[in-house]
Amino acid sequence: MRNATQHTRQLLERFESRNITYFENDGNWPIVWQRAKGMHVWDAEGEKYVDLTSAFGVAATGHARPEVVRAGVRQMKTLMHAMGDVHPHALKAELCQELSRLTFERWTRRNGFMKYSGAKRWGKTIFCNSGSEAVEAALKTATAATGRKEVIAFRGAYHGLGYGALNPTHRDHFKTLFNKQITQFAHFVHFPETDDPSIRNSSESFSRLNPNTAPLAQVLEEVQTCFKNHDIGAILLEPVQARGGNHIPPPTFLVELRKLCNQHGALLVLDEIYTGFGRTGKWFACEHARTLPDLICIGKALTGGFPLSACIGRDDWMDKAWPISNGAAIHTSTFLGHPVGCAMALEQIRVIKEHQLIARAAKQGRLFKRLLEEVADQFQPYAEARAIGLMGALEFRTPKGETDGAKVFNLVCRMLDEGYIILPEGDHGHVMGFTPPLIISESTMRRAFKTLIRTGHAAE
Ligand SMILES: Cc1ncc(COP(=O)(O)O)c(C=O)c1O
């Protein structure tokens, strides 16, 4: 470990709360990020890396996209902070309108592409600062609109770690210490096994070995039972489970959930914090199933790097949930609708449109999936590739079928050494997660996966 990295490590070990940054004893993990641009990150020692994560899916248009940076800097010089729910600024209003256009207005256009034949609707937004808070705003909206307390959530789900979002988050690792304080309102059902026939695994899909997944028919029965036995106001889910290990359900899943929500007067709440803004090859993942949600949570790629998130709801549900303000907002925060975040988000959306990054993600996604499958082929029957758009994963298991987190961490470290940043995902860190910037080139993808095959064989 060289000096700059060592200094940062020493400071963090002494002054940052334990259990946040993980340090390997050999000093090779983590690297200290110094700057980033486009596909690349440079560390404190000047080493250059290709970022195959977009830093948790945030840098969708590339790190430090110049147009987005300029918009942020311009805004910082003009108005760096306004008064959330009191004295607003114009960009907050403009971003609300843009988000409405991108979601409910687009989705409910006459003869549009969603399965929807009702009146034209629009979206109303609550801005927040993190993904977890956007989920909590959605949970509040659902209970305020329906008068019902309970929620159906899914095994393997990740919705953030605030006390509200922690409840429908499934993994015990995040909850055990706090179980005494977390209110219990989520009922967990299995997440559906994938029906993707191209899943590369010589025996059968790893879904069968996953305690969090079950066949779709069983999942729908579990949902029905929950509706029967509990006071359910909402179903909350990620259309593709991200941190849980990139689980892609059959497209009919959302369609069936929509029907059940209609039948029971409950809200369909989609957490598109990871999947939004082109990640899966559509603006939002629900568009693959052409299914209209009632509320949608967004964050991460919304700004390309500023902590701004939002819950956007169908206008009628939002109005049912929230009374007109009498001067003191029931739900707000100091930095609500931050002007710098709004300026960056408006520019980020403009860049995605101008450069047709959604279509690009869909096109590049086809090659990305093929390349992931080629890697999985090399490690049969212990690896499985799953991908949709530019959201992909490689899951590794041992000869006994157990999750192989050790192998994944070893590979992720070796790839870091080779100059590639990849994230371990899944309940046991046994899944390599890939969410590269939507601007990734074909040659970069080919080089990355060739290196991964070589590195994987070297590690055997
Ligand atoms: C699907 C999903 N929802 C919510 C969150 C929480 O977002 P944040 O970490 O910004 O609170 C995440 C974060 O990874 C996520 O992937």
Domains of the chain, by residue range, sit at 3-64+356-458, 71-354
Q: Which two tokens stand for residue 166?
A: 């922690």
How remote is the CA of residue 299 from the centroid of ligand 1, in Å?
8
For ligand 1, the distance from its centroid to the CA atom of residue 29, given in whole angstroms, is: 23
| Centroid of ligand 1 to alpha carbon of 57 (angstroms) | 10
Q: Which atom of ligand 1 is nearest to the CA of 160?
A: 6
Picking from 204, 202, 211, 244, the residue whose alpha carbon sits closest to that of residue 391 is 244
Answer with the residue of higher pLDDT: 192 or 1: 192
The tokens describing 446, both together, are 């080919």
Which residue CA neighbors atom 13 of ligand 1 most closely? Answer: 160
Q: How many CB atoms lie within 10 A of CB 31?
A: 18
Q: Do domains 3-64+356-458 and 71-354 have the same CATH topology?
A: no
Q: Which atom of ligand 1 is nearest to the CA of 275?
A: 1
pLDDT per position as a tens digit, 402-424: 999 999 999 999 999 999 999 99
Q: Which atom of ligand 1 is nearest to the CA of 132?
A: 11
Q: Phi/psi of residue 49, each to 5°?
A: -130, 150
Helix axes 339-354, 66-78, angle to 10 degrees: 150
First to last CA, the chain: 26
CA of 63 to the centre of ligand 1 (A): 19
Query: Which atom of ligand 1 approaches the CA of 135 most closely?
Result: 4
Question: Residue 128 pairs with which residues in a beta bridge?
Answer: 309
CA of 278 to the centre of ligand 1 (A): 16
Neighbours of 312 (CB within 10 A): 26
- Judged on CB neighbours under 10 Å (0-12, 13-18, 19+), 451 is middle
pLDDT for res 194: 87
Provide CATH code, domain 3-64+356-458.
Answer: 3.90.1150.10
Token reading at 95:
């971003």
Q: Helix axis angle, 339-354 relative to 357-378, nearest 10°?
A: 80
**Does 205 score more than 80 pLDDT?**
no
Measured between alpha carbons, how far is residue 162 from residues 174, 181, 348, 429 in Å? 10, 12, 27, 22
Distance from C-alpha of 199 to C-alpha of 187, rounded to nearest angstrom: 29
Ligand 1 is surrounded, with C-beta below 6 A, by 56, 130-132, 135, 158-160, 238, 242-243, 271, 273-274, 299
Q: Alpha-carbon distance 413 to 394, whole Å? A: 15
Judged against a pLDDT cut of 70, whether residue 10 lies above it is answered with yes
- For ligand 1, the distance from its centroid to the CA atom of residue 160, given in whole angstroms, is 5
Is the pLDDT at 287 greater than 90? The verdict is yes
Nearest CA, atom 3, ligand 1: 159
Pairing of strands 267-271, 295-298: parallel
Distance CA 13, CA 5 (A): 12
238, 249 Cβ separation under 8 angstroms: no
Tens-digit pLDDT profile for residues 357-380: 999 999 999 999 999 999 999 998
Q: For residues 209 and 165, what is the distance between their CA atoms, to the nearest angstrom?
A: 27
Rounded to whole angstroms, how far apart are CA atoms 189 and 427? 16
Distance 159 CA to ligand 1 centre (A): 5
CB-CB contact of 372 with 392 (8 Å): yes
pLDDT of residue 201: 61
- Which residue, chain included where needed, has tokens 């029965």? 221
From the CB of residue 102, how many other CB atoms can be counted at a distance below 10 Å? 20
pLDDT of residue 127: 98
CA 209 to mean position of chain CA atoms: 24
Q: Is the pLDDT of residue 1 over 80?
A: no
Q: Whose CA is nearest to atom 16 of ligand 1?
A: 274
Mean pLDDT score of the chain: 96
Could you please report the per-residue DSSP string of 402-439?
A: -B-HHHHHHHHHHHHHTTEE-EEESTTS-EEEE---TT
| Rg of the chain (C-alpha set) | 22
Whether the per-residue pLDDT at 340 is higher than 80: the answer is yes
Can you say whether residue 429 is alpha, beta or left, with left for phi > 0 and alpha for psi between -120 and 50 degrees?
Answer: left
Structure confidence at residue 348 as a pLDDT band (50, 70, 90)? very high
Q: Which residues contact 72 (CB under 8 A, 6 or more apart)?
A: 306, 340, 343, 344, 347
Residue 202 pLDDT exceeds 60: no
CATH number of 71-354: 3.40.640.10
pLDDT score at 203: 56
Nearest to 124 by CA among 400, 422, 337, 373: 337
Residue 413 half-sphere exposure, CB side, CA atoms within 13 Å?
A: 17
DSSP string covering 334-371, please? TTTT-HHHHHHHHHHHHHHHHTTHHHHHHHHHHHHHHH
Closest atom of ligand 1 to 238 CA is 1
| Residue 270 confidence class, pLDDT cut points 50, 70, 90 | very high
Q: What pLDDT was estimated at residue 396? A: 96
Q: What is the pLDDT of residues 379-398, one digit of tens each?
A: 988 999 999 999 999 999 99
pLDDT of residue 25: 85
Which residue of 274, 275, 333, 423 sits with most ligand 1 atoms within 8 Å of its CB, as the best mutation to test the pocket? 274
273 Cα: distance to centroid of ligand 1 (angstroms): 6
For residue 65, the CA-to-ligand 1 centroid distance in Å is 22
